[in-house]
Structure 1
Amino acid sequence: MAKITIIDDDQFFQDLLAENCQLMGHEIFTAGSISEGKVILSAESIDLLFLDVRLPDGNGLDLLSFVREIPSAPEVIIITGAGDLNGAELSIKNGAWDYLQKPIARQEITLQVTRALEYHEKKQQVPSHVSLNRDDIVGKSPQLCKCLNQIAACAGSDTTVLLTGETGTGKELFAQAIHVNSNRSRQPFIVVDCAGLPEKLIESILFGHIKGAFTGADTNQKGLIEQADGGTLFLDEVGELPLESQKTFLRVLQEKIYRPLGKGKEVSSNFRLIAATNRDLFAMVGQNTFRSDLFYRLNGFNIHLPPLRERPEDIENLAMSFIFSICCREKIPVKGVVPETLQVLFHYSWPGNVRELKQTLEKAILADPIAPVLYPIHLPSEIRLNHIHSLVSRKQLLPSDSTGVFTGNDPAESDILPTFKEYRKLYQQDMEKRYLQRLMGESSGNIVVACRTSGLSRSRLYDLLKSHSLLYRTVSES
């Protein structure tokens, strides 16, 4: 028996789909909106998700990025009342199992559910944890573990890898991890900073030159491609390569041969290529600023690194690792950290990602190197202010007058005055529901974040959500 979630505001279709899946012996969870669906997906280990496109609180396709990060990695079948080629393209690119247009025949529902769950079961049988030399890659969030598993999957081959992600997510660190875990680990790992290559010297730097090849070439000089022979060549920020250089480099990738400047014959280099970029190369191809043939050559195996804001559970481990390494480097006693400091770090969005976190802690430590403990006051003012703004927003959770007294729907103001015990119970229920609504809103339905913010255990939070009808669940009685 599998767990299937249906997110659709069409009650008739939702009931029809649920009935069909229940007859197949599966446990069904239903929701009529994105927010309700997030609660279920965060609380339950879902195997298959039916997701409508047009929902009361947004476009269902916007939920795909949230679904990708769920540990159970459910298969997704998009359902829509109106065909949309752009929506279909977005769905498939985000890993959806299929894209179906209503009405859907019962036989098709049965076939789709059967095939999707067969695939999901086989996928789950693949070991989720693999032995990997991860060096300085710190964290254990599902998002990071997914990337580590991808490294393990491609490290043993010679396929070209393209690392994508925002600036500061650690693309070079992941490239090194691929190299270290490959059969080329004993050979050189050569980094080419494409953004820093002088355009007039690109060929000389990459291919090398012989003495007298041009004015100033007083000696023979090995190029980076020759230096990478037998090892790994890492093209950092490959999207910055000029178009003319892209053409030149494409042939090197295809043939693994090149000609040093001034040399009469071509030479070969057996290197494994890893490229990285923070730019959208596919969009650049459409804008004619990046060669399509080079893009498809680079995009052999794609690993997308998540920004730090999407894996906040790694912040504490990263912070402690950075503090230890920085203190050891500066030869000062390793500092302690109070929980309040970690809370400030946790609630910041980190636009500069892991790199910004490391730089922030470095500044905090060096600003007061003799302090044995890092307090919030050691952190930059903008990060502390961000936390204060968050606290102020939470203080506004409960409506009150100038004295701080609750001013909502007060049961004591009704025609019949309840007993004190009844009044206290009604007041508590009202406050709990308001808190939970605000909590799930601010955490975007993420149970992990909600538990960390509220201090509640996962099971307790789930029970509260159900008791206040904030979690919608339909269970098969078979």
Structure 2
Amino acid sequence: MSAAPPVGPGRGAPILVVDDDADMLRLLSMRLTSAGYRVTAVASAESALNQLELSLPQLVLSDVQLPGKDGLALFDIVRARHPALPVILLTAHGTIPDAVEATSRGVFSYLTKPFDGKALLDKISQALALTAPQVDEEHADESWRSEIVSRSPRMAEVLAEARMIAQSDASVLLRGDSGAGKELLARAIHRASPRARKPFVAVNCGAIPENLLESELFGHMKGAFTDAHANHKGLFQQADGGTLLLDEIGDMPPALQVKLLRVLQERAVRPLGSSASIPVDVRIISATHRDLDVAMRNNQFREDLYYRLNVVTLTLPTLGDRREDIPLLANYFLHKLGQKYGKRLSGFAPEALKALTSAQWPGNVRQLYNVVEQVCALSTTPLVPLALVQRALRTPSVEVLSYADAKTKFERDYLVGLLKLTDGNVADAARLADRNRTEFYRLLQKHALTAGHFKADSVAEGASGVAE
């Protein structure tokens, strides 16, 4: 009795089957074809790699024992070229230890021969259920999201929506914690859009001083200010025809928000020192880890600019909300960083991978990358041990903070230190900071600091319980 055709996302999915046993290859092809899958059958790893160059399936099903390159070597190459493509291995009893180790390196699953037909179809169905939302039958090329390694259903939903909105010119607001991968998603949207052949330009609005950000965005003419020795094309002009990512848009100074809104409305920029506007055709993607609704209520972000930028919102899940991706990402980073450090690393010990999967990740994917880089740099064995992972997880990492967050923290701590030193005397604090009082007051307001709270009298009164 043949299996019922698959329903849902797996229906008609293309599967690449690899086995050098002609009878087994024919049996597998018949079983999977009768179950409704589209099967391509080859007899060697080399033929499989050639086939992958021609078209990308949704799953690879391979025997471990093959002539030439074996199934494990095939998996390593597939993982390097197509990190999100699931691989299921078929193994004889003698190669079970190899297959078990392979699962720690990212193989989706393995089955021992002789295998149960229903168990095979169940494993295939599970693998396709994780990857199906990433597949578009009309657009087999998945290179647009090649930098985003994921099998998570949560991420699959985000990617499916991202691909759909990429075809339009609508402004997109990307929300998500620091390190969640907002810039990678912005690049993916650009590559999936009709603007893909034009420039993608990214700027971190919180990392550039206010007095330079306007010039960076809109450009300037020679002589517009003291150091303007030549005409300078702003990022809007550099991105003309393409996509401009305004990262950490929530950190943009209010005065510049007004000018940005005007550029978006008029679709033209006026460089500093110029009397003429220059038309620009740019798709805007903005990103923030801040709650812009709160920022608007506190008059820190303009409501009219918010609605101009927030035509479509995509929210990236934290790494803790997509834990099924941690082994996949960790092994992907390990392979990538192994090449950087010139090391032959085969993967993580099972208990090391379990520690990574269960750890807290406040810094999200960026923090995971940093941890994997540390273990990669220090590892002296092909298989990364638990002790090395535990050491990396215990190490405080400054990289968890984004540049903008670190800059903001330093600026506030610096102001607090000055006010403590001068007992809340703004004139003295501004002098030490080499800033005029107006600018210094603006900095205090930005960080919600009140100079009076640092006066010695205020501290003494607070200690004695005397209220003003």
TM-score with structure 2 setting the length? 0.54
**Amino acid aligned to 2:227:** G
Corresponding residue of 2:389: 379
User: Secondary structure, in 3 states, of the residue corresponding to 2:301?
Assistant: coil
TM-superposed deviation, 1:336: 2.4
User: Secondary structure, in 3 states, of the residue corresponding to 2:145?
Assistant: coil
Residue pair 1:257, 1:266 contacting (<8 A) in 2 also: yes
User: Secondary structure, in 3 states, of the residue corresponding to 1:195?
Assistant: coil
Matched, 1:325 2:336: yes
2:169 to 146, 155, 158: 158
Corresponding residue of 1:254: 265
Alignment of structure 1 residues 358-373 onto 2, 5 Å: 358-368=369-379, 370-373=380-383
Matched, 1:268 2:284: no
Distance 1:128 1:139 in 2: 9
Corresponding residue of 1:170: 181
Corresponding residue of 1:37: none
**Amino acid aligned to 1:277:** T
**Amino acid aligned to 2:382:** P
Corresponding residue of 2:289: 278
1:149 to 113, 138, 160: 160
Distance 1:127 1:335 in 2: 29
Corresponding residue of 1:183: 194
TM-score with structure 1 setting the length? 0.52
Corresponding residue of 1:61: none
TM-superposed deviation, 1:338: 1.2
**Amino acid aligned to 2:260:** F
Matched, 1:136 2:157: no
Residue pair 2:270, 2:276 contacting (<8 A) in 1 also: yes
Distance 1:210 1:198 in 2: 19
Corresponding residue of 1:348: 359
Residue pair 2:347, 2:384 contacting (<8 A) in 1 also: yes
Distance 1:152 1:197 in 2: 31
| Worse overlay, 164-173 or 335-344 | 335-344
Matched, 1:228 2:239: yes
Alignment of structure 1 residues 381-460 onto 2, 5 Å: 381=391, 383=393
Corresponding residue of 1:43: none
**Amino acid aligned to 2:391:** S
Residue pair 2:371, 2:392 contacting (<8 A) in 1 also: no
Matched, 1:204 2:218: no
1:237 to 237, 248, 269: 248
Q: Deviations over 1:383-411 (max 9, x none)?
A: 379xxxxxxxxxxxxxxxxxxxxxxxxxx
Corresponding residue of 1:313: 324
Residue pair 2:296, 2:302 contacting (<8 A) in 1 also: yes
CA RMSD of aligned residues (A): 1.8
Q: Deviations over 1:208-242 (max 9, x none)?
A: 11111221211111111110100100000000001
TM-superposed deviation, 1:322: 0.5
Cα distance change, pair 328–288 in 1 and its aligned pair in 2 (3 A): same
TM-superposed deviation, 1:264: 2.1
Q: Deviations over 1:251-272 (max 9, x none)?
A: 1111111111112211111000
Alignment of structure 1 residues 52-71 onto 2, 5 Å: none
Matched, 1:192 2:230: no
TM-superposed deviation, 1:371: 2.1
TM-superposed deviation, 1:382: 7.3
Runs of 4+ in 1 over 3 A off after TM superposition: 126-129, 380-385
TM-superposed deviation, 1:335: 3.4
Distance 1:273 1:171 in 2: 14
User: Secondary structure, in 3 states, of the residue corresponding to 1:321?
Assistant: helix
Matched, 1:334 2:345: yes
Residue pair 1:327, 1:335 contacting (<8 A) in 2 also: no
Distance 1:382 1:170 in 2: 21
Distance 2:232 2:215 in 1: 8
**Amino acid aligned to 1:273:** I
Residue pair 1:360, 1:380 contacting (<8 A) in 2 also: no
User: Secondary structure, in 3 states, of the residue corresponding to 1:273?
Assistant: strand
Distance 1:245 1:384 in 2: 41
**Amino acid aligned to 2:161:** Q
Q: Tell me, which stretches of 5 or more residues in structure 2 are unaligned?
A: 1-131, 396-468
Q: Deviations over 1:244-300 (max 9, x none)?
A: 111110111111111111122111110000000001101111111110001111111
User: Secondary structure, in 3 states, of the residue corresponding to 2:286?
Assistant: strand
Residue pair 1:194, 1:238 contacting (<8 A) in 2 also: yes
Residue pair 1:188, 1:232 contacting (<8 A) in 2 also: yes
Residue pair 1:189, 1:232 contacting (<8 A) in 2 also: yes
Residue pair 2:355, 2:390 contacting (<8 A) in 1 also: no
Higher RCO by CA contacts (8 Å cutoff, separation 6 or greater): 1
**Amino acid aligned to 1:325:** K
Residue pair 1:364, 1:380 contacting (<8 A) in 2 also: no
TM-superposed deviation, 1:204: 1.1
Residue pair 2:334, 2:372 contacting (<8 A) in 1 also: yes
* Identity percentage of aligned residues: 44
TM-superposed deviation, 1:128: 7.3
| Number of aligned residues | 259
User: Secondary structure, in 3 states, of the residue corresponding to 2:173?
Assistant: strand
Q: Tell me, which stretches of 5 or more residues in structure 1 are unaligned?
A: 1-125, 386-478
User: Secondary structure, in 3 states, of the residue corresponding to 1:186?
Assistant: coil
